[in-house]
Amino acid sequence: MKLNKNLKVVLIVLILVGTLAAFVGYVTTHPEVITKVRSISPATLLLLLAAYVLAFISLILVLRVSLQMYGKTIAFKESSLLNAYSSLINFFGPGQSGAAVRGIYLKKRHGFKLKSYALTTLLYYGFYAVTSAFLLFVGSRPWWQTVGLMVSVAVCSIVVIKWYAKKSSLAGESGINPKNLALLFAATALQIFSYCIIYYLELASIDPTVSIAQALTYTGAANFALFVSLTPGAIGIREAFLVFSQNLHHISNTIIVAANLIDRAVYLLFLGLLFILVLVSHAKDKLHLTTSEKMS
């Protein structure tokens, strides 16, 4: 186990170093990238921050519906602080550390079993994957290929969810009904919609000729990086997904690099605002979170 953990750390370091080296090398030979980034307007920055706020609200809704499936509730302020704290942990920690923090907290403070939390998270990931698959192909491929990909992803998601539910003896939960599933899908769709806005604004600020269809495909490709999020903020992973899917969105490497540079900068600014919220609200103390808590 320790060996696997060490290998994972080495892999993360290699990806980050490789990404930094590739970025520096690319910018050195393509100085126009920095020029494009500097041209972004203050109004676009404000719109990007507003879109990130919308994405943050969608995560609050996802958490609310997840608890609702098991007859539990959480106050908006409490959910906001928890998501703010876990978002910071998720970016600066390894893998999906933020999800672990939420799971620990919900178990300790609301009696939300980790098995139940994992099931609702799988449902969320399933909706996220299906919606992202739709975006990946809808703007660039024939309708039958888009439908085929969505069905394939949906079937894989259902198989994984049913396997986990059966393994964890969670099948037949009354709260996992069409109404709650529809609400969870709507919250997930809101998050995806906010990402569409974010990526379109970033791409259009670099190249105004980028179409909405290209931005949708670009968003779908970028979203799949969530499932291979080894590095903080999926640095290097997301960029690789976007480069490998160029035959679908047809956006050049220069625009990809510039848009991702803008995105990282704006997201760090957004995280800075969340950090201020956490400090001012004394979130860690109010949530009674400690670094010694382990998932058990």
pLDDT tens, residue by residue, 153-171: 778 877 877 777 676 666 5
Q: Which of 34-38, 60-64, 81-85, 175-179 has the highest mean pLDDT?
A: 60-64
pLDDT above 70: percentage of residues in the chain: 81
Higher pLDDT, 290 or 7: 7
In the predicted structure, residue 203 carries a pLDDT above the cut 50: yes
Q: Which of 92-96, 144-148, 190-194, 226-230 has the lowest mean pLDDT?
A: 92-96
Among candidates 227, 202, 225, 226, which has minimal Cα distance to 214?
202
In the predicted structure, residue 285 carries a pLDDT above the cut 50: yes
In the predicted structure, residue 52 carries a pLDDT above the cut 50: yes
Q: Which tokens sit at 108?
A: 């300790």
Q: Which tokens sit at 50?
A: 């507003």
Q: Which tokens sit at 224?
A: 């799949």
Longest CA–CA span in the chain (Å) reads: 58
pLDDT at position 296: 37
> What's the pTM?
0.84
pLDDT at position 85: 87
In the predicted structure, residue 268 carries a pLDDT above the cut 80: yes
pLDDT tier for residue 293 given thresholds of 50, 70 and 90: very low
Distance CA 175, CA 153 (A): 24
Burial letters 111-123, b for 16+ CB under 10 A, else e: ebeeebbbbbbbb
Q: Which tokens sit at 293?
A: 């808590």
Read off the DSSP letter of residue 102: H
Q: Which of 25-29, 48-52, 205-209 has the highest mean pLDDT?
A: 48-52
Q: Which tokens sit at 271?
A: 């995280």
Mean pLDDT of the chain: 83
